[in-house]
Structure 1
């Protein structure tokens, strides 16, 4: 991602970023799994014509991906 995610300025996100590398990898894997599950929920909601729920799940998916990516990138610095 070519931008700074404002989510990472929150105190809880900073705590995540300060975890040791092995813990960041484990948490990142959980966020990646959450992303996939949220995407499936979004697709299911969309098929059922539940637009607000589809948008909710898509947002969950997006934030999970952003956090996973940030956790993976912080280990490369």
Structure 2
């Protein structure tokens, strides 16, 4: 994530905006993780993998914005 060109632009945001965006990304990560677990329980492996990837990417972006 750190090597992406857009990451530098995110780090240029003012602290308040960065904290708001970080909160949204953390909420997205939690929701996506829940959806992934539900998909695994329902034997929907492709959707589980998709939601797990969404969760990981959102979490990584949130950590970048710390």
Q: Answer yes or no: same fold by TM over 0.5.
A: yes
* Number of equivalent positions: 66
Q: 2:27 aligns with which of 4, 24, 33?
A: 33
Counterpart for residue 16 of structure 2: 22
Give deviations 1:6-62, integer Å, cap 9, x for gaps: x22222222111101111100000000000110111011101101111011011000
Gaps of 5+ in 2: none
Higher RCO (C-alpha under 8 Å, 6+ residues apart): 2
User: Which ranges in structure 1 are unaligned for 5 or more consecutive residues?
Assistant: 1-6, 73-77
